[in-house]
Amino acid sequence: MAILLDGKAMAAQLMADLQGRMDALRAQGISVGLAVVLVGDDPASQVYVRNKAKACQELGIYSETIRLPQETTQQELEALIDRLNQDDRFDGILVQLPLPRHLNEAAALRRILAEKDVDGFHIENAGKLFTGQNGVVACTPKGILHMLKAANVPLSGKEAVVIGRSNIVGKPVAMLLLNENCTVTLCHSRTADLAAHTRRADILVAAVGRPRFVTADMVKPGAAVVDVGINRVDGKVVGDVDFEAVERVAGYISPVPGGVGKMTIGMLMENTIEAAERKAR
């Protein structure tokens, strides 16, 4: 049976560490703030945004969630971002994705000051990750690396296979694994014979968005399997990995819920506190 990559327990530990950093900032008279922008009424985004605000509250981070209607224009969204860039109460600004389809996501993300980009989605931060410079790293990829390292999963020289090539998860996590000296394969919807790739993986990251997509026959015995999926099936949340079957084959596995998602929010809190610490220096 696989060892559980317990995101809930790891995130609790992380939040305790972050509480200490918050105390240190408070002792210097420094407050920390996060602005979250939600455009439209995507039900999943509503849940994520609420969880982010809850985590801020737990740590004593000042947070505001700004809700804009579905029909918001690019100009209105960017005007709001400009205001938040200027607002000293906010060390971090997060625009919840996906945006409604009529909006230009890349332009909106570029509008956020790179030093306030706690999601690591600004091209400056993405470019820094790509070129091996210190910048803000996207929360989910950073959380995945944190989980693997906390469990002492060997990385250097190992085969890592990532399924999914999004800017939010697939591409940045591939880059982080490469920085850890993994040999990285980035698979996607057009990959021929996906299972031939996944079966070679010592570390397998599934960010596909399809329920129970990764089956036991696709997993190398002993592999570390990280499930990034959040899919709703018959009112139940399931990941991209067929957990019950894969946990019998894998060496490590992250559950859904209680896995990567918990770490993502923890890393968002860390990126926000880091932005305040940077500003203080």
Q: Which residues are catalytic?
A: 52, 96, 119
Q: How many CB atoms lie within 10 A of CB 133?
A: 10
Q: Alpha-carbon distance 90 to 63, whole Å? A: 8
Binder among 94, 155, 174, 208 for ligand GUN (CB under 6 A): 94
Binder among 30, 66, 97, 114 for ligand GUN (CB under 6 A): 97
Nearer to ligand GUN, 142 or 212 (CB): 142
The residues with which 162 forms a beta bridge, in sequence order, are 186, 205
Tokens of 63: 């947070």
Nearer to ligand GUN, 95 or 218 (CB): 95
Is residue 201 part of the contact set for ligand GUN (CB under 6 A)?
no
| Rounded least distance, CB 265 to ligand GUN, Å | 9
Q: Alpha-carbon distance 156 to 186, whole Å? A: 17
Is residue 136 part of the contact set for ligand GUN (CB under 6 A)?
no
Is residue 263 part of the contact set for ligand GUN (CB under 6 A)?
no
Is residue 254 part of the contact set for ligand GUN (CB under 6 A)?
no
Is residue 272 part of the contact set for ligand GUN (CB under 6 A)?
no
Q: Alpha-carbon distance 159 to 161, whole Å? A: 7
Site string for ligand GUN, 210-249 (x = CB under 6 A): ----------------------------------------
Question: How many Cα atoms sit within 13 Å of 25 on the Cβ side?
Answer: 24
Q: Alpha-carbon distance 5 to 9, whole Å? A: 9
| Rounded least distance, CB 93 to ligand GUN, Å | 10
Helix (H) or strand (E) holding 280: helix 260-280
Strand order from edge to edge, sheet including 203-206 = 3-4, 252-253, 224-227, 203-206, 159-163, 183-187
Nearer to ligand GUN, 97 or 123 (CB): 97
Nearer to ligand GUN, 228 or 250 (CB): 228
| Rounded least distance, CB 212 to ligand GUN, Å | 20
| Rounded least distance, CB 98 to ligand GUN, Å | 7
| Rounded least distance, CB 139 to ligand GUN, Å | 5
| Rounded least distance, CB 20 to ligand GUN, Å | 24
Is residue 119 part of the contact set for ligand GUN (CB under 6 A)?
yes
Is residue 72 part of the contact set for ligand GUN (CB under 6 A)?
no
Rounded-to-5 percentages of helix, strand, coil across the chain: 45, 15, 40
Q: How many CB atoms lie within 10 A of CB 149?
A: 11
Nearer to ligand GUN, 38 or 177 (CB): 38
Binder among 168, 184, 203, 219 for ligand GUN (CB under 6 A): 168
**Residues at the interface with ligand GUN (CB under 6 A):** 94-97, 119, 139-140, 168, 264
